[in-house]
Every structure is written in C-alpha cells, then in structure tokens.
Amino acid sequence: MRAVVTSLYTHVLNCLSSFFNISSDQLMLKGLTIIIALIAIATYGFISYLQRSPELPEIDYERWWGNGPKVAEDGTVRPFKIEFNDTMIADLKSRLKNRRPLTKPLEGIKSEYGMNTIYLEKVLNYWVEKYDFKERANRLNDLPRYKTRIQGLDIHFIRMKPKVQGMKTLPLLVLHGWPSSSKEFQKVVPLLTTPRTGHDFVFEVIAADLPGFGFSEGTNKPGLSGLHIGVILRNLMRRLGFNQFYIHAGDWGSNVATHMITVFPDEILGYHSTFAISFRPYSFLKLFLGSFVPNFVMDPKYVNRVYPLTDLIQYFLRETGYLHIQSTKPDTIGVGLTDSPAGLAAYVMEKIGVCTNRDQTNTDHGGLAALELEDLLDTVTILWNNNCIVTSSRLYAEGTTKETRIVDNIPTKVPTAIVNFRYEVLHQPEWMLRDKFNNLVHFTFYDYGGHFAGLEVPKELADDIFKGMLAILEFNKKKSINL
C-alpha cells in the first residue's frame, strides 16, 4: 500500500515538474512557500474577522415589560419593608411538616447524587422549628429598602447612604445572580458605606433585585435578557438621580453589568466583578489554543483554575444540569419547586453548595458548611415568599439572544477590576478577558472563597471592591488629564 502511494506521489511530482519546466526539488520549495503564505493569510483574515467589533444593535430604552400594553406610570420611589406574614409562615410550615418521607441516599453516598436528604432533613427541621421568620425580616429591614416602577415592573432595591456625610461619595450599583437577591450583600453593604483609612471616598450603595428575583416583579413578556435588564437598571439609577455611577456584580448580575458597560460606556465609570467573562468568540479560540501552552498564557500558580480543559468540561457536565433545564424548560421544573418548599430548598441549596466548593460533593453538606444556615434559609424563604423561582430561573432561557451575542462581541473601555475567588464557577485568564474588558485595571486572586462571596467572605469582598475602586479612580484621573 505504502509503495503504491509513494510511486503515485513521485509520478505526480515528475509530471508537474516537467509541466512547469523546473526540477522537482524547486517545485516542492515553491509549493511549500505558497501553502505557508496561504495559511498565514487565512489565519490573519480569520483573526481579524474574529477581532472586529460589530455595530451596537438598536435598543428600545423604554421597552415595556408590564402586563398588557404600555400605560402611563407613577414614577415615585416608595419606602418598602419586607414582611413574612403569618398566613405565609403557617402554610409553609404545614407543607414542611406534612411532606412525604425523603428517599435516603445510596449506601456510602454523600452529595454526589445531589442534595443529601439526611442533611436536608436537618435543614428543614431547623426551618420549621428554629428559623425566626419575623426576626430575620427585621434584620433584612435594617437596610433601607424601596420600590419604584420602571418600564412596567416594580423594582426593589436597597439604598444606603454613607455613614459620614461630606466625603467624596461614589454611587455603586450592586447586582446579584441566581438564585440570590440583594440579600446576598446584606453584610457587604454596610462595609461599603463606612469610610476607611487610606481612601478618600466612600460608597452610596444601591443593591437592586433583578426583575423576577427577590422582591422585584417578574415580567410576563418574553425577551427580558440581561441586556434589557441592564436598560431597566440604568433607568433606575437615572430615576434616583445618578447619571454616572459604578457597578459591582457577580453571576447573572455580571452578565447584566457587562451589557451595561458596553451599551452605556459614558454613564458607567467603573466596574468591579467577581464573575467577569469575555463571551467574544475570539476569546474562546484563545481558551482552546491556550490549552496547548497553559503556563505561557497565564500565571502558572492559577493554571488549575482553567486548565486542563478536560477537567473543566468534566466539571461542567457534572454540575450544570440545572442550567440546561432552566435554559430550555424552566416552567416544568418550576411547578415542583413552586409547590414544595422541601424541593425548593434542596434544589437551590445543592447548587449554592457546589458553587461554594465544588470539591466537597463527598460530604453531606456538599459545600454548604462554609455558609451560615440562616443566610441560606433567608434565600430560600425569599424565593418561597415571593414565588419567584420560575421567574428567576427563566433568565437562563431568556439570557442569550441574537442581540446579546452581538453586544457580547463588542469590547468596552470602561475600567474594570476583577477578583477571582478560589472556587468561582468560571475563570478566564487575563489574556482573554482583555478582549472584552480593554481596560482591565486591577486583578486579584484569592486562595479561598467561592461563587457567593458576599455570603461567605463579605469583609474580603468589600476590601477588594475598595482596592479595585482605587485603581479605577486612578485610571479615570489619568484619562481626564490626557484629554
């Protein structure tokens, strides 16, 4: 076989060399040169194609998300208090007490098959017997809360002014993800509004619940992606008198914030994120190419947060079933979760555990031990009380559209500070992040902490927001001098 191929090859080479009237060696050299040149041109063309930034699509900044057709709205900002009322509590407790027996885990299994039901049972008993609904609501109400109607939806937010007046005050919009609400930042907000030494600024914090999450109303209209949520929140900030502001965000909040800094680069002065991702196709090509030389494309100390890609893919296949369900059939899973508080608790707490420490599925708590039980039950109680598990889960189905993919591929100049906690769900090296976040001014890594840093390490998160902001302010100062 081999002999046949070789003789065929020699024959073709001889024919060609006599046709072009040059020696076969020369022919090989010319052919090779041409092939290399073609590959180089094609690669260059492909990379330029991937690097080019598309035009911003047309966006309706007043799009109506309320029921029925658009109507004139009352734009007042109303104070709001969280209440867990007796009817809700009695109904919830009766459901928890009257639940059917849970199926025991397989022998020797901890959380590998999902929420450990022996552990869950303890959590549910605590919820019924020890969790003090009224006291927890009072605690949440320690932070001043408001609601206002934007584009047809009632939007809820915490607004906390600095504890000391007269200092340089930076308005900071703080955004959570799924299955959270502004509750995630309950312990962070007061740290941000407290002046600290070495910083001549302090924050005024606006921590909003995304529409369909927490105490913000969900929409009945399809199409409310992170891009359009970003428009709603920008309109919220304008309503509050902030034409320019800063953002801190994680998880879906980061998706929203990333759209905001792309669409409103002159209104957002800086962005701090625990979960920044470049979704530019070019970055994914780099992610793949980087897998051949990981130590070359990122600090070797943190290589295991990204590579080998096979580990990352395995982890994703293992832990993202919920993402596929919610991206495709959120309403079906939602029926069970809306009807059973035990089911709701199991579903969201399992996910919170894994995202806090993915290496602990071999324990009965599955990663939850790093968080306070009361905080977790606040999160589940809020989801239950507001019946928002379906409206919040739908964001996975609504999140990616043709429009968002275009905006994802447009880089932004807004100065960005990124923090990477040890067990953050997804991490990209700087090499890729800069494709989207052109002015990456601060980048920190921690050997601890997970996806819900606001719950787990509130102090360290607040510290990093202050540090990142110093770099952002420095960048903006230099930029204004250059003008």
Give the 3-state secondary structure of residue 12. helix
Residues 61-90 that bind ligand NAG (CB under 6 A): 85, 87-88
Q: Is 302 a catalytic residue?
A: no
Q: Provide the 10 A C-beta neighbour count for residue 284.
A: 15
**Smaller CB separation from ligand NAG, 257 or 382:** 382
Q: Which residue is nearest to ligand NAG (CB)?
A: 85
**Are the C-beta atoms of residues 416 and 437 closer than 8 Å to each other?**
yes
Backbone angles phi and psi of 265, in degrees to 5: -65, -20
- What's the min distance (Å) between Cβ of 163 and ligand NAG? 31
Amino acid of residue 171: P
- What's the min distance (Å) between Cβ of 252 and ligand NAG? 23
Inter-CA distances, 233 with 221, 248, 426, Å: 17, 13, 25
The residue from 365, 396, 442, 464 that is catalytic is 396
Residues 81-140 that bind ligand NAG (CB under 6 A): 85, 87-88
Q: What angle do CA 36, 40, 45 make, to 5 degrees?
A: 150
**Smaller CB separation from ligand NAG, 87 or 197:** 87
Residue 175: strand pairing partners? 208, 249
Give DSSP secondary structure letters for 200-268.
SEEEEEEEEPPTTSTTSPPPSSTT--HHHHHHHHHHHHHHTT-SSEEEEE-HHHHHHHHHHHHH-TTTE
Q: Is 64 exposed, middle or buried (0-12, 13-18, 19+ CB in 10 A)?
A: middle
**Smaller CB separation from ligand NAG, 87 or 480:** 87
- What's the min distance (Å) between Cβ of 340 and ligand NAG? 16
**Are the C-beta atoms of residues 300 and 445 closer than 8 Å to each other?**
no
- What's the min distance (Å) between Cβ of 84 and ligand NAG? 7
The residue from 251, 378, 408, 464 that is catalytic is 251
As a whole number of angstroms, the longest Cα–Cα distance in the chain is: 96
**Smaller CB separation from ligand NAG, 51 or 85:** 85
- Tokens for 402? 């043709």
**Are the C-beta atoms of residues 416 and 273 closer than 8 Å to each other?**
yes
- What's the min distance (Å) between Cβ of 339 and ligand NAG? 15
Residues 201-240 that bind ligand NAG (CB under 6 A): none
- What's the min distance (Å) between Cβ of 87 and ligand NAG? 5
**Are the C-beta atoms of residues 253 and 211 closer than 8 Å to each other?**
no
Q: Is 378 a catalytic residue?
A: no
Residue that is written with structure tokens 């495709």 in the block: 328
**Are the C-beta atoms of residues 299 and 455 closer than 8 Å to each other?**
no
- What's the min distance (Å) between Cβ of 280 and ligand NAG? 42
Residues 368-397 that bind ligand NAG (CB under 6 A): 385
Whole-number Å distance between alpha carbons of 211 and 392: 8
- Tokens for 65? 């998300």
Q: Is 396 a catalytic residue?
A: yes
**Smaller CB separation from ligand NAG, 216 or 278:** 216
**Smaller CB separation from ligand NAG, 391 or 409:** 391
Distance of CA 78 to the CA centre of its chain: 29
Count residues binding ligand NAG (CB under 6 A): 4
Residue 157: strand pairing partners? 146, 208
Whole-number Å distance between alpha carbons of 407 and 39: 30
- What's the min distance (Å) between Cβ of 344 and ligand NAG? 14
- Tokens for 99? 């639940």
- Using CB under 6 A as the binding rule, whether residue 7 contacts ligand NAG is answered as no
Give the 3-state secondary structure of residue 148. strand
- What's the min distance (Å) between Cβ of 363 and ligand NAG? 34
- Tokens for 67? 């029921």
Helices (H), 21-140: 24-51, 86-97, 117-129, 133-140
Catalytic positions, written as ranges:
251, 396, 451
The residues binding ligand NAG (CB under 6 A) are 85, 87-88, 385
